[in-house]
Chain A
């Protein structure tokens, strides 16, 4: 690449790295999060996602176009990407902050990736029943307007027993537990799925989602089944974020302590 070309690219993209753009994108996001949350209280999560959180453009009163959260987040993502290239101070002393910004980049990028690739299904079984067929759930919950799509899972699952227990003398549930048998190819094994303790199998994860009783002693258990190949992305991003913040603040603290205590001073 020639010097000239480089300069052109730089001239094109440098404004994208502007701090002012960061503030604008963040302000947009703040406003949209507030509006979406208030809207959600009145109209439910599905409507709020459709209108605010998962939208590119919001048509106010049907005529006035406003940016949706997806647009604002994309803007912030591009801004952050450009900033990492053109603006962030690459110096070891700023290592913590750099790590934080890279972590954020990965967190947002991972979020986009997961939104595009992850699938969620719902599976309800009565005790003794087994199935491979799960209902497809889209991002906003099971679709009501058309028949939910059925999907064949690569794992067979049979509900052996469902158990719930309450704190003594109350209606406060203590735990929900499903004992299941999973079949893959020719092998079988028993497994337990309970609240906060999902079952993982390859890229699939089975969560205890709800239950029902038919009043005649029969119980059924509902699992949500998520297939998510990018599942580990937010974890790595979180680790970077955490590490970056820790490095940055420990550094700040050390500097502050060095400055503020020139000689042995005592507690007031």
Chain B
């Protein structure tokens, strides 16, 4: 009974959305449809991506991204003191002649005196080759692009609000949300309000009426008439919807996406997983209180939010769960958590919670970092779109990755158990779990790789092409096969298998994104340089762990006089 109440509370927290109730007049504003990077999305998503790009966060001091963007659009001067520009390198501020220490968020008015210098610097760096840019140059450029984007946003509604023609400089300003479709057809351009004004008198009457609705809304917001603001935008949305027809923009998908944004399911799942791990630690310290069940419930609750997020994304985009790098992180995290839960359930072991919690929190954290680069619900290029083999092989391989990662986590546990007690009986149990996870990983990586081959054969006429991504998957398969056969041959025992499974994690991360880092500029700098460094640190750390722990384990085993044959069985 207590358990179900707790679960209900947890679920309602996970699926509640604090922001949704806060500002009803913002509803129609969030629902404005923007065409960006080929996708029609709610303005709310546009706002969140923008604020994340500027500040690394999706909200500003308790204010939702949409609320912030509305202020930028309609009362621009009031946002000059908002601390929205994240500066990771204090040197950039110094070079701009602006005072400030450390990494932090700064307001437009704070940066303003240095903008001239920032512009000069960016002008110099923009033409550098990628290899010539260091952290400082990249951070300078990033700040410059963000401030420029903000500067453009300030003008987005100014001319409409004033009822004048657009400022000539601002007509072609890029990065402004294209919320007004010119015609109804699929090929017709979508324009930002300022661009529409620049377009002049040749506009259809409906578009002109929509523009005047936007002007009304804009003035209403500036003078604090929230109700009028909401009504004008509702009328605008309805007019656009009628013009486009119900097929072009699905109202239910827009609602779903806004709901998904506000719930922020992956962030909440991350918190729940963190809580699960924390309680698990407590339960190990205080075994009397049976806290392990509470910990399992937290993991389960987090996985509900996680599942909701995955399904919502599939419904919004009408596509399978894994189609880009971001989604592989989310999906592998999810698979890890589900595997952990199943193990906790079937095998009655808190090790499942440990492995699931770690896999969930680590990969969701990576996904969160990655999402700062822009919209994670991007459109797909021709080669990647709508092919059964392609989509299934990516999902299958991701399952395989998760299996290997979970096995590797158990590998750490086995080594630690062996360090604490060379004759540990628990280690044998952990090894069984490791074995199962590794077998799962090998099976799904193999199937996924073969399916990838089938896709390549169907699309390119060759089953195998020695592409780095293929090689990475092959390496995982070979490595897992080595572990199983070496164990059968008696070349490695429990410790060897544990160490080998940690090697499997290294193989997985190499195949997964190490391969991407080998190539040139696949993604924006923000992720890649940080990721390359993080990857090296991770691999270095694991190798160090192995180099120290494995000899210690062997020494312990030898000292305790453990029978070697028994060790290996």
B249-257, B453-461, B558-566 - interface stretch: B453-461
Q: Are B463 and A40 in contact (CB under 8 A)?
A: no
Contacts of B190 in A (CB 8 A): 168-169
With contact pairs A169-B189, A241-B446 given, residues A196 and B457 touching in the complex (Cβ less than 8 Å): no
| Residue count of chain A within 8 Å CB distance of chain B | 61
Q: Are A260 and B347 in contact (CB under 8 A)?
A: yes
Q: Which of B495-524 contact A (CB under 8 A)?
A: 515, 518-519
Q: Which of A147-200 contact B (CB under 8 A)?
A: 166-170, 172-176, 195-196, 198
Q: Are A224 and B518 in contact (CB under 8 A)?
A: no
Asked if B381 is at the interface (CB within 8 A of a chain A CB), the reply is: yes
Give the distance in Å from the alpha carbon of A49 to the alpha carbon of B470 in the complex.
14
Q: Are A41 and B38 in contact (CB under 8 A)?
A: no
Contact of B485 among A19, A38, A172, A234 (CB under 8 A): A19
Contacts of B464 in A (CB 8 A): 111
Give the distance in Å from the alpha carbon of A170 to the alpha carbon of B189 in the complex.
11
With contact pairs A168-B38, A172-B381, A174-B385 given, residues A238 and B450 touching in the complex (Cβ less than 8 Å): yes
Give the distance in Å from the alpha carbon of A248 to the alpha carbon of B442 in the complex.
13
Asked if A77 is at the interface (CB within 8 A of a chain B CB), the reply is: no
With contact pairs A23-B489, A175-B385 given, residues A196 and B459 touching in the complex (Cβ less than 8 Å): yes
Q: Are B382 and A198 in contact (CB under 8 A)?
A: no
Q: Which of B461-493 contact A (CB under 8 A)?
A: 461-468, 471-472, 474-475, 478-479, 481-482, 485-486, 488-489, 491
Contacts of B169 in A (CB 8 A): none
| Residue count of chain B within 8 Å CB distance of chain A | 65
Asked if A201 is at the interface (CB within 8 A of a chain B CB), the reply is: no
Q: Are A234 and B466 in contact (CB under 8 A)?
A: no
Give the distance in Å from the alpha carbon of A209 to the alpha carbon of B462 in the complex.
12
Asked if A14 is at the interface (CB within 8 A of a chain B CB), the reply is: no
Q: Are B447 and A242 in contact (CB under 8 A)?
A: yes
Q: B460's closest neighbor in chain A, by CB? A: A207
Asked if B10 is at the interface (CB within 8 A of a chain A CB), the reply is: no
Q: Are B463 and A114 in contact (CB under 8 A)?
A: yes
Q: Are A27 and B482 in contact (CB under 8 A)?
A: yes
Q: Are A172 and B450 in contact (CB under 8 A)?
A: no
With contact pairs A207-B460, A238-B451, A249-B439 given, residues A172 and B38 touching in the complex (Cβ less than 8 Å): yes
Asked if A45 is at the interface (CB within 8 A of a chain B CB), the reply is: yes
A198 to chain B, nearest CB (A): 7
Give the distance in Å from the alpha carbon of A231 to the alpha carbon of B456 in the complex.
12
Contact of A172 among B37, B390, B461 (CB under 8 A): B37
Q: A175's closest neighbor in chain B, by CB? A: B382
Q: B386's closest neighbor in chain A, by CB? A: A196
Give the distance in Å from the alpha carbon of A173 to the alpha carbon of B266 in the complex.
30
Q: Are B468 and A268 in contact (CB under 8 A)?
A: no
Give the distance in Å from the alpha carbon of A114 to the alpha carbon of B379 in the complex.
36
Q: Are A205 and B454 in contact (CB under 8 A)?
A: no
Contacts of A252 in B (CB 8 A): 436, 439
Q: Are A33 and B491 in contact (CB under 8 A)?
A: no
Contacts of B347 in A (CB 8 A): 260
With contact pairs A167-B379, A231-B457 given, residues A23 and B345 touching in the complex (Cβ less than 8 Å): no
B396 to chain A, nearest CB (A): 10
Contacts of A242 in B (CB 8 A): 447, 450
B380 to chain A, nearest CB (A): 8
Give the distance in Å from the alpha carbon of A187 to the alpha carbon of B164 in the complex.
66
Asked if B440 is at the interface (CB within 8 A of a chain A CB), the reply is: yes
> Which of A18, A34, A170, A196: most chain B Cβ within 10 A?
A196
Asked if A130 is at the interface (CB within 8 A of a chain B CB), the reply is: no
Q: Are A224 and B385 in contact (CB under 8 A)?
A: no
Give the distance in Å from the alpha carbon of A160 to the alpha carbon of B519 in the complex.
37
Contacts of A207 in B (CB 8 A): 459-461
Contacts of B155 in A (CB 8 A): none
Asked if A222 is at the interface (CB within 8 A of a chain B CB), the reply is: no
Give the distance in Å from the alpha carbon of A172 to the alpha carbon of B380 in the complex.
8
Q: Are B460 and A238 in contact (CB under 8 A)?
A: no
Q: Which of A239-253 contact B (CB under 8 A)?
A: 241-242, 245, 248-249, 252
With contact pairs A23-B482, A169-B38 given, residues A198 and B345 touching in the complex (Cβ less than 8 Å): no
Asked if B168 is at the interface (CB within 8 A of a chain A CB), the reply is: no
Contacts of A231 in B (CB 8 A): 457
Contact of B454 among A34, A234, A249, A265 (CB under 8 A): A234
Asked if B359 is at the interface (CB within 8 A of a chain A CB), the reply is: no
Asked if B383 is at the interface (CB within 8 A of a chain A CB), the reply is: yes
Q: Are A256 and B486 in contact (CB under 8 A)?
A: no
Q: Are B382 and A226 in contact (CB under 8 A)?
A: no
Contact of B383 among A196, A224, A261 (CB under 8 A): A196
Q: Are A53 and B457 in contact (CB under 8 A)?
A: no
Considering the complex of A and B, which 3 residue pairs feature the smallest CB-CB distances, nearest first? A167-B38, A226-B461, A19-B489
Q: List 30 A-B contacts (CB under 8 A).
A: A20-B489, A26-B481, A30-B479, A30-B482, A33-B471, A37-B471, A37-B518, A40-B468, A41-B468, A45-B466, A49-B466, A111-B463, A114-B463, A120-B462, A167-B37, A172-B380, A174-B382, A174-B385, A196-B383, A198-B461, A205-B461, A207-B461, A209-B460, A224-B461, A226-B461, A234-B454, A238-B451, A238-B453, A252-B436, A260-B346
